[in-house]
């Protein structure tokens, strides 16, 4: 349709019909639906009546349902305006890829895009028009369970991965039935809730917000994301969905966003609970004034918006503008011509879990695992006779993590399956040992696990956190290993030193003691469908670990917040971390630095950084500094290394981070091979938000380094003139 046709469609709509376009409800209101929802379901809704005017639907199961929903709606809507069908396709639909936090550890934008590309093919076949993805909240606190949904503690990484996802998912033309629209979330600063407790308020200076939180959302908006979701939290006193500064000023005016804003689940209604709206009607007014176009699931707009317009409290102009944005999105998706978009049962059969998707899922699981420690245990020898597989995850299929689609775990390859695929001859004994649940203190299985460990040639200890202990609404005040898993680890490792520990978790865990005693420690996060195959290949060296931490792992929860890009105090602790030094910035009872720093990760080979060079000593504002890093694979295996480029502004008008990642590149080298990785540094990358909240760069001296956080290996200075 032309814009002119859309406008005349709008003109012919009644007030109720217009409001309907701004309403989203659960598919479960129309069809029996077993898909998970994340908020209160609420009272029974006038579904049939609503169907006549409804604009969009949240979460359904398959192409058949998608078509049925659309058909039923079109038959009831006299304007024949198709529904928008939306779903959280976060790390895959039927084929599940590693959780986003793991993908961040891959430090590979192309790999992240490849997974998103395959997720898009499955989701479009299922009938999805809009995915609530990517989530690019900066998250720096492991207590917050939703840290698993983001890529990193570093907004630059989140922005790069988010933008890559948006581009591949939306494609060049949204009307192509294989493309779907992206909704970026959760705008803004949802990942910084007070005390790490989900949904909690965020108090933050505008400078900090602009420096460390907004850039990732902006990168996705710049990449063309068609929707954005305001966050649940109050930001500096105003919940995002009612935050006019955030939405009208920053998002629409400064960034020029012209797409659709959709509230989070019942976030409009929650304005009442948060105490900024007197009642539901008032909440509808506040959200409309802040430019929230669609109200997700609790019918606040449905029940109150028409009345607000009739009373002149919300202008018809504002209503029309919101409806036009929704109609334009439907039009961009080509729904007026093809309301079913990509929904196809045949296509579902062809693409769900197809070999290409599984292959990428396996590679992604391998390339996002982070080898934290290895005292010569890994890779295991392939001629091993007897393997003991111990721990609560030994036989589990719960290896997908939060936001995997319900039922997807039935396709997940377990550890025993993966090991048997690789080593069909080896004898494999499994023992659970104990549970992983919080509060599960049953030690009954430990003795049998110890016996199995003693009798084995190689032991795999698979421990961690249950997959639904991280994710939405899953905050913890302590981030150690739950239950008696640490006791199990101590006993098993003492029984057999040829033990490799696999960690399955969605948040950084504080495991200093485990890290001290474990002969080998491999952080697997939640690897998804191909978990078992990927683990086996990593353990036996068919795959070489190459993940780097995109978020630091703490010694203890008391260290939070502990951003890798911290600033110096006037009294930094001198010398090695560990012992306190009086009257310096330190803890009396533990280190300052993380247990494992941002950017850290081992390999079965060894990379040597030989040279860091710049093509000049100073640059002007228009120039570009050429940086080259030479490294060599000094070990005996082929491997991948993420070359990380850090910046330090020596003197500025505000304190600047002692290390700031500004770029990265992943390279693969054969044994003995040497390569030079080149980066370009421009004035733009030297900018920061000053005290007056302006984005500036200041002339002076800078340092550029490679290595990883807290372990910068080579450094060069240059000047900005
Ligand atoms: C979550 C969002 C999600 C939405 C729809 C909410 O509870 O915060 O991330 O997109 O539900 O499922």
Please provide the DSSP assignment of 462-474 as one string: EEE--GGGSSTT-
Is 137 tagged catalytic? no
Q: Supply the range of the domain harboring residue 287.
A: 19-34+55-347
Atom of ligand 1 nearest to the CA of 135: 9
Q: Does one domain contain both 339 and 377?
A: no
DSSP state of 572: B
Q: Does one domain contain both 319 and 394?
A: no
- Distance, CA 272 to ligand 1 centroid (Å)? 19
Angstrom distance (rounded) from CA 525 to CA 554 = 16
Atom of ligand 1 nearest to the CA of 59: 12
Residue 556 within a domain: no
Give the dihedral sign, CA 311/315/317/319: negative
Residue 477 within a domain: yes
Residue 361 within a domain: no
Q: Does one domain contain both 113 and 241?
A: yes
Q: Ligand 1 — pocket residues by CB below 6 A?
A: 38-39, 88, 132, 185, 264-265, 472
Bridge pairing between strands 130-131 and 56-58: unpaired
- Distance, CA 264 to ligand 1 centroid (Å)? 6
- Distance, CA 27 to ligand 1 centroid (Å)? 14
Bridge pairing between strands 295-296 and 23-26: parallel
Q: Does one domain contain both 215 and 327?
A: yes
- Distance, CA 507 to ligand 1 centroid (Å)? 19
Atom of ligand 1 nearest to the CA of 149: 9
pLDDT at 578: 82
Closest CA to 296 of 55, 60, 74: 55
pLDDT at 39: 54
Atom of ligand 1 nearest to the CA of 186: 9
Determine the residue of 56, 88, 146 to mutate for testing ligand 1's pocket, defined as the one with the most ligand atoms within 8 A of the Cβ atom: 88
Token representation of residue 530: 């191909």
Residue 202 CB-half CA count within 13 A: 29
Closest CA to 181 of 159, 165, 202: 165
- Ligand 1 atom 8: the closest Cα is on which residue? 264
Residue 643 within a domain: yes
If one counts the domains in the chain, the total is 3
Residues of the chain with pLDDT under 70: 31-47
- Distance, CA 191 to ligand 1 centroid (Å)? 14
- Ligand 1 atom 2: the closest Cα is on which residue? 264
Backbone φ/ψ region at 449: left (φ over 0), alpha (ψ -120 to 50), beta: alpha
- Distance, CA 26 to ligand 1 centroid (Å)? 12
pLDDT at 43: 45
Angstrom distance (rounded) from CA 574 to CA 577 = 8
Atom of ligand 1 nearest to the CA of 38: 7
- Ligand 1 atom 10: the closest Cα is on which residue? 132
* pLDDT, tens digit (0-9, with 9 covering 90-100), for 613-636: 999 999 999 999 999 999 999 999
Report how far apart, in Å, the C-alpha atoms of 679 and of each of 19, 45, 305, 698 are.
Answer: 51, 56, 52, 21
Angstrom distance (rounded) from CA 62 to CA 676 = 48
Q: Does one domain contain both 375 and 496?
A: yes
Determine the residue of 148, 232, 265, 406 to mutate for testing ligand 1's pocket, defined as the one with the most ligand atoms within 8 A of the Cβ atom: 265
Angstrom distance (rounded) from CA 234 to CA 474 = 19
Query: Containing H/E element for 425?
Result: none
Q: Does one domain contain both 632 and 503?
A: no
pLDDT at 12: 98
Q: Does one domain contain both 525 and 640?
A: no
State the Cα angle at 51 between 48 and 55, rounded to 5°: 160
Residue 554 within a domain: no
Question: 546, 564, 587: which is the final residue of a domain?
Answer: 546
Q: What is the spatial order of strands in the sheet that 711-720 belongs to?
A: 618-619, 711-720, 700-708, 639-649, 660-669
Residue 574 within a domain: no
Question: 546, 569, 590: which is the final residue of a domain?
Answer: 546
Q: What is the CA radius of gyration of the chain?
A: 26
Q: Does one domain contain both 311 and 423?
A: no
pLDDT at 118: 98
Task: Specify the CATH number for the domain of residue 475.
Answer: 3.40.50.1700
Neighbours of 439 (CB within 10 A): 7
Cβ atoms of 315 and 291 within 8 Å: the answer is no
Cβ atoms of 26 and 59 within 8 Å: the answer is yes
Residue 388 within a domain: yes
Q: Does one domain contain both 190 and 325?
A: yes
- In residues, how long is the chain? 721
Determine the residue of 26, 37, 38, 193 to mutate for testing ligand 1's pocket, defined as the one with the most ligand atoms within 8 A of the Cβ atom: 38
Q: Is residue 75 packed enough to be buried (19+ CB in 10 Å), middle (13-18) or exposed (0-12)?
A: exposed
Residue with tokens 């993966």: 418
Cβ atoms of 664 and 107 within 8 Å: the answer is yes
Please, what is the end-to-end C-alpha distance for the chain in angstroms?
53
- Distance, CA 145 to ligand 1 centroid (Å)? 14
Residue 11 within a domain: no
- Ligand 1 atom 11: the closest Cα is on which residue? 265
- The answer to whether the bond into 188 is cis (omega within 30° of 0) is yes
Angstrom distance (rounded) from CA 474 to CA 146 = 7
Give SS3 for 129.
coil
Task: Specify the CATH number for the domain of residue 678.
Answer: 2.60.40.10
Angstrom distance (rounded) from CA 63 to CA 415 = 32
Q: Does one domain contain both 177 and 306?
A: yes
Q: Does one domain contain both 342 and 414?
A: no
pLDDT at 29: 75
Q: Does one domain contain both 336 and 406?
A: no
Neighbours of 513 (CB within 10 A): 14
pTM across the whole model: 0.97
Task: Specify the CATH number for the domain of residue 244.
Answer: 3.20.20.300
Report the DSSP beta bridge partners of residue 85.
57
Question: Which of these is catalytic: 117, 137, 141, 264?
Answer: 264
Atom of ligand 1 nearest to the CA of 185: 9
Token representation of residue 718: 């240059």
Closest CA to 568 of 656, 499, 495, 648: 656
């Amino acid at each position: 349709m032309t814009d002119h046709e859309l406008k005349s469609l709008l003109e012919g709509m009644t007030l109720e019909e217009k409001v309907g376009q701004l309403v989203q409800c659960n598919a479960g209101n129309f069809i029996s639906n077993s898909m998970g929802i994340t908020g209160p379901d609420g009272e029974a809704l006038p579904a049939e009546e609503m169907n006549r005017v409804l604009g969009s639907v949240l979460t359904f199961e398959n192409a058949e349902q998608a078509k049925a929903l659309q058909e039923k709606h079109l038959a009831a809507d006299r304007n024949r305006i198709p529904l928008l069908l939306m779903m959280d396709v976060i790390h895959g639909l039927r084929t599940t890829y590693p959780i986003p936090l793991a993908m961040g550890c891959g430090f590979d934008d192309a790999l992240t895009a490849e997974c998103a590309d395959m997720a898009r093919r499955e989701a479009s076949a299922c009938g999805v028009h809009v995915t609530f993805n990517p989530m690019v909240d900066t998250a720096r606190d492991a207590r917050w369970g939703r840290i698993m949904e983001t890529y990193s503690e570093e907004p630059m990484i989140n922005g790069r991965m988010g933008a890559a996802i948006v581009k591949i998912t939306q494609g060049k033309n949204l009307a192509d039935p294989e493309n779907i629209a992206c909704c970026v979330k959760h705008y803004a600063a949802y990942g910084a809730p007070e005390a790490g407790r989900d949904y909690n308020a965020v108090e933050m200076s505008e400078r900090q917000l602009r420096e460390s939180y907004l850039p990732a959302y902006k990168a996705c908006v710049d990449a063309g994301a068609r929707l954005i979701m305001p966050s649940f939290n109050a930001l500096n006193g105003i919940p995002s969905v009612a935050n006019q500064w955030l939405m009208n000023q920053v998002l629409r005016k400064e960034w020029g966003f012209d797409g659709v804003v959709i509230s989070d689940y019942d976030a409009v209604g929650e304005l009442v609970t948060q105490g900024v709206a007197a009642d539901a009607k008032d909440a509808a007014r506040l959200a409309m004034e802040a430019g929230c176009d669609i109200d997700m699931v609790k019918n606040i707009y449905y029940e109150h918006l028409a009345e607000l317009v009739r009373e002149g409290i919300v202008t018809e102009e504002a209503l029309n503008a919101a409806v036009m944005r929704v109609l334009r999105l439907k039009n961009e998706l080509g729904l007026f011509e093809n309301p079913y978009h990509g929904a196809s049962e045949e296509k579902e059969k062809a693409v769900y879990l197809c070999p290409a998707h599984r292959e990428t899922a396996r590679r992604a699981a391998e390339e996002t695992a982070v080898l934290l420690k290895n005292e010569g245990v890994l890779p295991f020898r392939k001629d091993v006779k007897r393997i003991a597989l111990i721990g609560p995850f030994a036989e589990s299929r719960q290896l997908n993590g939060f936001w995997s689609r319900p039922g997807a775990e039935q396709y997940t390859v377990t550890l025993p399956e993966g090991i048997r695929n690789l080593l069909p001859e080896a004898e494999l004994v499994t023992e659970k040992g104990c549970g992983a649940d919080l509060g599960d203190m049953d030690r009954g299985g430990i003795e049998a696990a110890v016996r199995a460990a003693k009798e084995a040639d190689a032991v795999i200890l698979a421990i961690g956190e249950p997959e639904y202990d991280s994710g939405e609404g899953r905050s913890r005040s302590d981030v150690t290993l739950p239950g008696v898993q640490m006791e199990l680890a101590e006993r098993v490792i003492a029984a057999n030193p040829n033990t490799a520990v696999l960690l399955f978790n969605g948040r950084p865990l504080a495991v200093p003691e485990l890290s001290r005693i474990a002969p080998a420690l491999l952080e697997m996060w939640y690897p998804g469908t191909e978990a078992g195959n990927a683990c086996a290949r990593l353990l036996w060296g068919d795959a070489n670990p190459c993940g780097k931490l995109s978020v630091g792992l703490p010694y203890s929860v008391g260290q939070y917040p502990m951003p890798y890009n911290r600033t110096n105090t006037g009294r930094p602790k001198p010398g090695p971390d560990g012992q306190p030094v009086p009257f310096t910035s330190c803890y009396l009872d533990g280190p300052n630095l993380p247990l494992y720093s941002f950017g850290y990760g081992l390999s079965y080979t060894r990379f040597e950084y030989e040279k860091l060079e710049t093509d000049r000593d100073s640059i002007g504002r228009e120039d570009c500094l050429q940086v080259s890093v030479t490294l060599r694979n000094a070990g005996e295996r082929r491997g991948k290394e993420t070359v990380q480029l850090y910046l330090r502004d020596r003197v500025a008008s505000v304190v600047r981070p002692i290390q700031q990642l500004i770029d990265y590149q992943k390279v693969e080298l054969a044994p003995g091979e040497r390569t030079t990785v080149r980066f370009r540094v421009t004035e733009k990358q030297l900018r920061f938000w000053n005290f007056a909240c302006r984005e500036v760069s200041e002339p002076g001296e800078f340092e550029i380094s490679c290595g990883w956080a807290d372990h910068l290996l080579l450094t060069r200075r240059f000047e900005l003139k």
